[in-house]
Amino acid sequence: MRSLRPGILARRSWVCMQCRRASSSPAASHNPKTRLPDFPARTRFAPSPTGYLHLGSLRTALFNYLLAKRTGGQFLLRIEDTDQKRTIPGAEQRLYDDLRWAGLQWDEGPVVGGPYGPYRQSERTATYRCHAHDLIHDGHAYRCFCSADRLDTLARHRSQAGLPPGYDRKCADIPAEESEHRAAKGESHVVRLRVEDYPTFEDLVYGKTGQNRSSNKLDLIERVYDDPILLKSDGHPTYHLANVVDDHLMEITHVIRGTEWMASTPLHVALYNAFKWTPPRFGHVPLLVDKSGQKLSKRNADIDLTFFRDKQGVFPASLVNFAALLGWSHTKKSDVFSLDELAHIFNLKITRGNTVVAFEKLWFLQKAHAQRFAANGGPEFDDMVSSVSNVVESTTTPEQLSRMIQPRTLPELITPLLQADAKSFTNATEFVNRNATFFTTTLERPPYTPTNQAQAATPAFPISSLHTAAATLCLVPEPHWTIGTHRDNIKYYDGASVVLELNPDAVDQNSDPEKTRVNADKTFKKELYHYLRWALSAGAPGPGIPETMVILGREETLRRIREARELTADKRESNPVTARRARERSKPQSSPSQSQSKGQDRSWMGTLAPRA
């Protein structure tokens, strides 16, 4: 009967026996540096539908996925729903949706099927019973008919005596025939594994590991054993039995899971030994803790994956990238990786000890991925455009919006804005808040205040010099209204003359005149940028000035520059001396620098074009 275990006929040899045997030896067939196997790994993610995917379980799934992909193996999904009482309705579907959202598509498992199914433990009960009976037959397990009351009294007695819990093996020596007979009559019982000592094992992350049973003097008189339950009185398996049987039958070669399972692994290895099976290789990944050392747990709603996705608008690429770096180290220069890139470089160099989760890194990665999407286009960028569009539409009146975007469509306005400011993108809502001035025609500017540097200058810059510079930049006709043109024009605008004419003493006879000019130009440009940002976007951070001018469009830019000029008109009048100088300076021939523009066609600038 033993050869008729359900599921056994479906077994297929994905990994040759030699490799399987070799993989049982700690050093052999694993690269000592990367700890990667030299054969395709079959890994699995085995969640219980008692909760949702959270940061820690996403990382576990990811490491298993990456190990399989890196070695050309398979990644399985198995639903461990042995604890039906704690199963949350809908959790299984959410797990599928969340894994797919993260890009972790399983090769075998529920929905997609596979040769080792079914992949839901509640559908495999007969298989577990069959294997439990094999162990009873071989003497590695026995039926225990002790009542709950008896076990309770035993536990209380041991606790009062300050002894560790355990079972006194009252039922271990019931003759096989009697045990069969009582079970056949329907007497309630569990099946226990007979364990003398738990074996140690070689963990891929922690090295040789295991647990020694602490012996106590009283143990000699009242000896107890762990003898864990494999099959419960309702005939259903415990996690340990189902987990080991499935990993074996599904030919799993590597089990990567959280350190919270490490204490169970010696028991699992004992089970493999009892079955005379080669255990898979285990690698336990450290606990995730917050900055104060507190464990992050799935009961903490803050780290439920939907929190990141739905509330924070985090991209799957950023979250996966973030999860990958939790405890795993690499030698690349940058930390920014797509899932595919991770699959090419992943290894099992996982650090021991708790991993502190610092969410600043997540936002850094989010901005980095936003920049990648903006640079490459594609579906991720389309999603960014539509999420920003949705926010704008829900926060702006249609009239205002149509006045603002004309003659473009909303995505036509948002696309260049995202391309120019992707470096700041955390999520659509924050992006729209930061760039709110692009979605309104009524700018509310605070009163204009020059930069500290300009205020300190003697004499201070006249505002008219900034008005003139801004007006000059606006002379560009529509066909030339591009980022490149504006960038050049700002660059070539002769700011040095403005400063040096105001303050001739700045020219120190002993210092390098070119250096003096360069510094003077820098001072003016700094103020000009500051003024233009105030004029065009009320001083809000966002894309650079040339980009802003293009995104706003010529008409709106001109309107804002005019408006800004009117708002600062009083200041222009306040200093007659500097106003006169500025007027002189704004004469056509003293506009953009002459020397640097050689070779460029600036005929469109009319009289403002630099002289040849």
CB of 554 to ligand GLU, least distance (A): 59
CB of 69 to ligand GLU, least distance (A): 18
Among residues 171 and 249, whose Cβ is nearest to ligand GLU?
Answer: 249
Least CB distance to ligand GLU at residue 276 (A): 21
CA dist 426 and 423 (Å) reads 9
**CA–CA gap between residue 257 and residue 523 (Å, rounded):** 58
- CB of 53: closest distance to ligand GLU in angstroms? 11
Q: Smaller CB distance to ligand GLU: residue 44 or 585?
A: 44
Q: Nearest Cα to 121, choosing from 49, 55, 32? A: 49
User: CB of 242: closest distance to ligand GLU in angstroms?
Assistant: 9
Nearer to ligand GLU, 107 or 222 (CB): 107
Torsion of CA 156, 162, 164, 169, to 10 degrees: -60
Q: Which is nearer to ligand GLU, 323 or 410 (CB)?
A: 323
Output 129 or 257, the one with its CB closest to ligand GLU: 257
Pair 367, 315: CB distance under 8 Å: no
Handedness of CA 504, 510, 513, 514 (dihedral sign): negative
| Least distance (Å) between residue 79 CB and ligand GLU | 9
Residue 269 CB, shortest distance to ligand GLU, in Å, is 13
Chain positions contacting ligand GLU, by CB under 6 A: 46-48, 80, 243, 257, 261
Task: State the nearest-atom distance from the C-beta of 545 to ligand GLU, in Å.
Answer: 53
Residue 83 CB, nearest approach to ligand GLU (Å): 9
Rounded-to-integer distance, Cα 532 and Cα 443, Å: 13
Provide the H-helix boundaries in 396-494: 398-405, 410-421, 428-434, 452-456, 463-473, 483-492
Cβ nearer to ligand GLU, comparing 259 with 338: 259
Q: Give which of 258, 154, 158 is closest to 171, Cα–Cα.
A: 154
- Measuring CA to CA, which residue among 101, 124, 117 is closest to residue 52? 101
Report how far residue 293's alpha carbon sits from residue 354's, in angstroms, rounded to the nearest whole number: 8
Q: Please, what's the largest Cα pairwise distance for the chain? A: 115
Nearer to ligand GLU among residue 46 and residue 498 (C-beta): 46
The partner residues of 120 in beta bridges, in order of sequence, read: 79
CB of 63 or CB of 439, closer to ligand GLU? 63
Name which of 238 and 243 has its Cβ closer to ligand GLU.
243
Residue (243 or 389) nearer to ligand GLU, CB: 243
> Nearest distance from residue 246's CB to ligand GLU, in Å?
9
Q: Which is nearer to ligand GLU, 279 or 542 (CB)?
A: 279
E strands along 281-407, which residues?
281-285, 288-289, 355-356
In angstroms, the CA 326 to CA 354 distance is 10
- Distances in whole angstroms, Cα of residue 207 to Cα of each of 21, 200, 352, 399: 19, 10, 10, 66
Are residues 281 and 206 in contact, defined by beta-carbon separation less than 8 angstroms? no
Shortest approach of ligand GLU to residue 52 CB, angstroms?
Answer: 12
- Residue 558 phi/psi, 5-degree rounding, is -60, -40
User: First vs last Cα of the chain: how many Å apart?
Assistant: 100
Q: What DSSP assignment string belongs to 143-192?
A: EE---HHHHHHHHHHHHHTTPPP-B--TTTTS-HHHHHHHHHTT---EEE
Task: Kindly tell me which of 284 and 565 has the beta carbon lying closer to ligand GLU.
Answer: 284
CA dist., res. 547 & res. 482, Å (int): 8
Q: How far is the CB of 46 from ligand GLU (least distance, A)?
A: 4
* DSSP at 288: E
